[in-house]
Amino acid sequence: MNSIEINSNVVNGVLKRNRTRIQDAIKCFEGKEITITIKRKRKTRSNNQNAYYWSVLVPLMVHGVKNEWGEIWSNEKAHEFFKMHFLFYEKINELTGEVLKLPKSTTENTTVEMEEYHGQIREFLKEWFAIDAPLPNEEIKLNL
Residue 27, pLDDT > 80, answer yes
Exposure string (b/e) for 36-74, b if CB count within 10 Å is 16 or more?
eeeeeeeeebeeebeebbeebbbebbbbbbeeeeeeebe
More confident residue, 135 or 13: 135
Average of pLDDT values for 68-95?
Answer: 94
Contacts of residue 130, defined as CB under 8 A and 6 or more positions apart, other chains included, come to none
The per-residue pLDDT for range 29-76, each reduced to its tens digit, is 888 888 888 777 778 888 999 999 999 999 999 999 999 999 999 999
Under the banding of pLDDT at 50, 70 and 90, the label for residue 141 is low
Angle between helices 111-129 and 75-86 (to 10 degrees): 110
Residue type, 18: N
pLDDT of residue 144: 67
Residue 143, pLDDT > 70, answer no
pLDDT of residue 36: 81
The per-residue pLDDT for range 93-125, each reduced to its tens digit, is 888 999 998 888 998 899 999 999 999 999 999
Residue 1, pLDDT > 70, answer no
